[in-house]
Amino acid sequence: MKVTISVIKADVGSIGGHTKPTPEMMDAVRAELAAGIARGDVIDGRVTHTGDDIAIIMSHTKGVANQDIHVGLAWKAFISATNVAKEQGNYGAGQDLLVDAPSGNVRGAGPAVAEIEFDLLPNHRPAESFMVYAADKCAPGAYNLPLYLAFCDPMHNGGLLLSPRLHEGFTLTIIDMDHKGGDRVIKLDVPERIWDVCALLRDMDRFAIEAIHSRAFPEEQVASISATRLHNIAGKYTGKDDPIALVRNQGIFPAPEELIEPYVIGHYVTGDARGSHTMPIMPVALNTPVAGIFCLPIVSCIGFSMDGNGHFAKNYVDFFGDVTWDATRLHIQQKAIEMRRQGFFGVAMASQTEIAYTGLIDTLKSLDKEFITR
């Protein structure tokens, strides 16, 4: 049986600023998901939030980029939550819904999408489990470093040495997010090409890992990451690109403990206040609001199991909600405070290219006229 896991996430409004959606908005999305299950479009699903972004996690048999799932369910659900947000006077109602009515699928219309279609339970995969990462106040390149470390670096993932299947390596699909008019992608096999991978991924504002496939079983996709830039769609700053990632785990893929290990670093990413600064990303429990200084970037990670009919196990594991991450959080908060000490100077503010979509560019343009050449 071919099954697709689709995760579609959008920010359609929040309480008291860019913090979290209201329970009534979440209910509106849940109602549309329940209707989708009743129609038979969706097998199973969950609705969660990370910061002010609502994620719909679904299993179905309709394949990726399917209209019934993207538009008939997810877009409709986000419109319904937007209407609730408007009634309630919430901040940024409908923020990520950048077009009037998307046709076909919602990729490029504002919401973040991660999807994988696969053959459920073939011989080499006797159990199916997967993780959903959702990040708020940062861009898709935020996953570059943790994915690189988990899939390319045995110093972080000893499984690359211990498991014969992992040892065969992976194919990374990296997208040029600055390119307009068609997707510009490169496929690189690791470990052979890791230095080329690094050369691209270090520029997280432009390049992001979009997909990862097994080389032992090339038909098996292990990861899918939403890698589009809202400002490229809207032509101006409209909020951040708050990415999601779907990663299958165990067996022929890395184990969850290997996949989450790099998040202990609290690496600095572009994002936070006005999408225009550099701050460390903090692993948090699911359904955490954004309440840290300068909209500290946050990431949640939950794990699911799926049965042979595409249903999720009733419960999920909240990896970053665990007490073992408390010390990491304190450390990352300390890193954030240190960065904030230098305010807007140098690397504390995002790169020149990133702030090109902000009001600072108008100031620079008008100052340019006052310059004289001596």
Which residues in this chain contact ligand 13P in the complex, by CB under 6 A?
11, 18, 51-52, 92, 95, 136-137, 239-240, 242, 273-275, 295
Residue carrying the six token digits 């996949």: 259
Cβ–Cβ under 8 Å, residues 47 and 26: yes
User: Which one from 196, 205, 237, 335 is the annotated catalytic residue?
Assistant: 237
Which residues fall within 8 angstroms of residue 345, CB to CB, at 6 or more apart? none
Residue 262 DSSP one-character state: G
213 SS3 class: strand
Residue 186 DSSP one-character state: E
Active-site residue flag, 9: no
Helices (H) and strands (E) in the chain, counts: 12, 15
Q: Which is nearer to Mg ion, 50 or 59 (CB)?
A: 50
Burial class (CB in 10 A: 0-12, 13-18, 19+), 205: middle
Q: With CB cut-offs between 5 and 8 Å by kind, which of ligand 13P, Mg ion, none does residue 156 bind?
A: none
Residue 297 DSSP one-character state: -
By CB under 5 A, tell whether 18 contacts Mg ion.
yes
Query: Is the preceding omega at residue 164 within 30 degrees of 0, hence cis?
Result: no
Q: With CB cut-offs between 5 and 8 Å by kind, which of Mg ion, ligand 13P, none does residue 275 bind?
A: ligand 13P
* Token pair listed for 199: 């050369």
CB of 4 to ligand 13P, least distance (A): 27
By CB under 5 A, tell whether 17 contacts Mg ion.
no
Active-site residue flag, 237: yes
Q: Which of 136, 220, 272, 354 binds Mg ion (CB under 5 A)?
A: 136
CB of 251 to ligand 13P, least distance (A): 35
Three-point CA angle 234, 237, 241, nearest 5°: 80
CB of 91 to Mg ion, least distance (A): 7
By CB under 5 A, tell whether 92 contacts Mg ion.
yes
User: Which one from 20, 96, 240, 357 is the annotated catalytic residue?
Assistant: 240
User: Which one from 11, 41, 52, 53 is the annotated catalytic residue?
Assistant: 11
CB of 5 to Mg ion, least distance (A): 22
By CB under 5 A, tell whether 96 contacts Mg ion.
no
Active-site residue flag, 2: no
> Distance (Å, rounded) from C-alpha 82 to C-alpha 34?
18
Q: Which of 52, 128, 210, 258 binds Mg ion (CB under 5 A)?
A: 52
By CB under 5 A, tell whether 115 contacts Mg ion.
no
> Distance (Å, rounded) from C-alpha 300 to C-alpha 94?
22
CB of 273 to ligand 13P, least distance (A): 4
Q: Which of 41, 53, 117, 220 binds Mg ion (CB under 5 A)?
A: 53
Cβ–Cβ under 8 Å, residues 294 and 349: no
Residue ranges that bind Mg ion, judged by CB under 5 A: 11, 18, 52-53, 92, 136, 242
- Indicate which residues carry an active-site annotation: 11, 237, 240
